[in-house]
A and B are shown apart, each in its own frame.
Chain A
Amino acid sequence: MRALKSVGVRVGRRLVASVPALLGVVVFTFVLMRVLPGDPAVFFASGPNAGQAEIQMIREQMGLDRPVHEQLIRYFSEIGRGQLGRSMTTGQAVVADLRERLPASLELTLVALILALGAAIPLGILAALRPNSPLDHVVRFVCSMGVCVPTFVSGLLLIYVFYVVLGIAPDPTGRIDIFAASPPDITGFLLLDFAITGDWEGWRAAAGQIILPACTMALFVLAPLARMTRASMLAVLGSDFIRTARSIGLSRWKVIVVHGLRNALLPVITITGIVFSTMLGANVLVEKVFSWPGVGSYALDALLGSDYAPVQGFVLMMALAFVVVNLLIDVLYGIADPRVNVE
């Protein structure tokens, strides 16, 4: 109980410490968007007859006719009310858009990460057990291929093979078959929602939609995870305590997994945290190719249209996600290695 409380206090302290950084991010993005060339009012006043009057109306509607510092104060007061402004691109409140799209991105990223870890850790261990063997070279080759093929190429390739040629994948258009009934909206994570309602047919359909984009992303992040596992395992397997464990006759499994892997896991966890945050923001190409309604493609469309509010909202959300993920990683450190302290 006491331990839990102290963890809670530490977590709280960390969150409070992150507030100045978040404020900085908000101000920085806010100013950056306004410094970039391109006037959103002109972009959106593109009706067949829109003239200066319409441009001015949009400018007023977006609050762009006011001085920048006033706009910033208004933006902060909006954040205080839990609002992030309105997107011109989709016509919705940014908060509503993010709430709808974040689960899609998170679900995709999590599934991809699980797939990647599921493949990378065994591959990394195998490569570490037989360094410079043909097996090691095969793993290195697979990793290099994964990281050097851009995700939109591997995505299109997977679509081509599994959808166009073999016809076994569903059409690559979003999270669920367009002709199916709309999914239960409980958590926004379709796999979870279908499991909760016990609709296993729907679950299979959703899984069928997510598998290709998740594989595309997993391929891309396989390399850092597998390489890091290999390097870290190599270092640990060469250390004294492993030799000791071997010499006292512990089973091979126990030596590798309990004594080796657990000690080798710290850098892998660090890398996993970084990879996760990067994937969440950088999977925009995968989202575009698979028409995945995630936050990445949302932010990109907004950026191309100089649509300020969604970009600012997205960056703020990513900053928050980074804080949370880092915190989570620190807690995981403590579990993997009790000597490490969350402080």
Chain B
Amino acid sequence: MKFNRRQGFQAAAAAGVAATAAPREAMSQTRAETLRQVMGGVINSLDATMLGGTREGFGLVMNTYDRLCSMGRKPVSTGGFTFDLDNIRGELAERIDRSADGLTYTFHIRQNATWHDGTPVTAEDVKWSLDRSVSARSLAPPQMSMSSYTSPDQYKIVGEKTVEVKLPRSDRLALGNLSTPYAMMINSKLAKQHATSDDPWAINYLKENQAGGGAYIVESHRPGQQLQLRRNDNWKNGLNGELPYFRRIIMQTVPEAATRASLVERGDADLCIDLAASDVPAIEQRNRAKVVAIPQGNTFQCIVFNTRVAPFDNPKVRRAFALALPYDAMFQAALFSRGSKYYGASWTQAPNGLFPQPLGVNQDLDRAKALLAEAGFPNGLETTFTYAVSMSAFVDPMAALLQEALGRIGVRVAIQKLPDAQIGTLIVERRLPFFTDLGSAWLPSPDYFFRLYYSGETRWNYSGWQNAEVTAMAQEARFTIDQARYDDICRRMIDISLEQMPHVMLWSGNHEAVMAKNIEGYTYWFHRMVDWRDLKRS
């Protein structure tokens, strides 16, 4: 007998309609004001900037710490909200002044803002926090440098509650970057008490303790198991000064995705954002929990060619591969087409500078075969396609289709699955010829994608592609305030990337949050974690 656990749970839901959930629903008021989120990952640090900090920590610090400013949100037609990089408001700052030349920002801190310990927020605290974000041995400095923040000299105290930030050049992402988890504002008096000469930025202390002023306060933390928070009732830095709805948050690690699904469906947990993609359509159909699916415009999946080794150092080979792929079938097999396509447009020259967007790439086997022959491989070639074990749920079916389609232009593909830690090493060392990976950008402006994923020497330039023109344009675009010029540059970068095809953009899967039916206000954030401040129970 073959036991399929998904079928098991489908049957469970059918039977479960009859089953009673009454004993738990009768819980007191506090249960209604408590949000229980279940997740597969763990939080290994209360300070998300720590080297080796997990992704789950981003959502945490957004809630336990404030930043000087915050991105807004806008409704999505399919329900829920998504973040809005173009609409930035003050969070800890009540007013932000920008100088005419765009080189100086002045932040006026809220008069009545306090830290969790009740002491007022001062300009020294803000200066120390900003200094830390560019100086500490942490993950923050490389992120801050993405918007020209590199030195403590750029931050100046100009009043008891006023801080001035100087930029060497006008930078499009200057405010956006100050809204990210790494730009958190820290109670410097408390942190400095625990700083040592070896550890001037109190990294060790903040890993296990908090010194913030955010909307929530960590009450207990069992690493790898659960984290409980209570609301900071003195918090006034939200939109219109409103307090978040939930008084208590429980974040619990439940490693098994099937268990997470049944917890939410039975109403014992309120929210889960990391269910197996294949479980979500069934949950939607059973309609016992709400599924909010929001496009993730700042993420993508791609198929990468190592442009530094043969045969993929030849753009014709890369283009031939790109033209051979059965995009729609792969999208259906991998994600049940639940997401946004980055292929299938009919144009050959980019009509605008948006990125990512559906690109002019489509399957054309004859053209692919011809290109391969032109590149000197009339009889095809052999290669290996690699992906991480953690992706097998959606890449397995896609890889089979890719193998079959490339076979039709004479390319024999061997498929290889590797553990995540191992594949990471191989990508960094550029030893994989042909593989798939995911990318995301916190600040999804086109130039940011091109700087991070199409140039440079970090792991994120997966293909190792070096194109002097794109590298120069990506740098220029970052400092270009004139929108028309900016769009021109981006159009040109898109055209070059399609011609050269260092990697094939496939799609971005929807962000699928499964929650109790009475949870409202769910927002998809650039860091892809939950911000509990948005949520309420109707």
Contact = CB atoms under 8 A, between A and B. Distances in A.
Nearest to A49: B142
A167 B420 contact: no
Given A54-B139, A90-B223, A178-B250, A173 B259 contact: yes
A52 B458 contact: yes
**What is the size category of the interface that chain A forms with chain B?**
35 or more
A54 B144 CA distance: 14
B424 A38 contact: yes
A178 B421 contact: no
B262 to A, nearest CB: 5
A57 B137 contact: yes
B268 interface: yes
A297 interface: yes
A115 B531 CA distance: 44
Interface string A23-65: 0000000000000011110111111111111110110010000
A297 B425 contact: no
Interface in A159-174: 159-160, 163-167, 171-174
Nearest to A92: B223
Interface stretch (A133-141, A248-256, A285-293): A285-293
Contacts of B287: none
Contacts of A53: 142
A88 interface: yes
Interface in B212-240: 220, 222-226
A57 B223 contact: no
Contact of B52 (A44, A92, A173, A289): A44
A186 to B, nearest CB: 17
B12 A165 contact: yes
B21 A156 contact: no
A52 B430 CA distance: 13
B401 interface: no
Q: From A43, A173, A304, name the one whose CB has the most chain B CB atoms within 10 angstroms.
A: A173
A291 B256 contact: yes
A291 B34 CA distance: 21
Q: From A61, A174, A297, name the one whose CB has the most chain B CB atoms within 10 angstroms.
A: A174
A38 B420 CA distance: 8
A160 B142 contact: no
B31 A288 contact: no
A305 B45 contact: no
Nearest to B57: A91
Contacts of A182: 220
Q: From B20, B224, B258, name the one whose CB has the most chain A CB atoms within 10 angstroms.
A: B224
Contacts of B262: 159-160, 163-164
28 contacts: A37-B425, A38-B422, A38-B424, A43-B424, A43-B425, A44-B51, A47-B142, A48-B441, A49-B143, A50-B458, A52-B458, A54-B51, A58-B52, A91-B44, A91-B45, A91-B53, A163-B266, A164-B16, A165-B12, A171-B266, A171-B268, A173-B263, A178-B226, A288-B255, A291-B252, A304-B419, A304-B420, A306-B421
Interface of B: 3, 5, 8-9, 12, 15-16, 19-21, 23, 27, 31, 34, 36, 38, 42, 44-45, 50-53, 137, 139, 142-143, 145-146, 207-208, 220, 222-226, 250, 252-256, 258-259, 262-263, 266, 268-269, 419-422, 424-425, 428, 440-442, 452, 456-460
Given A52-B457, A55-B428, 15 more contacts: A42-B421, A43-B420, A44-B51, A46-B424, A48-B441, A53-B142, A54-B139, A97-B223, A167-B19, A173-B38, A173-B254, A179-B31, A291-B254, A291-B255, A301-B42
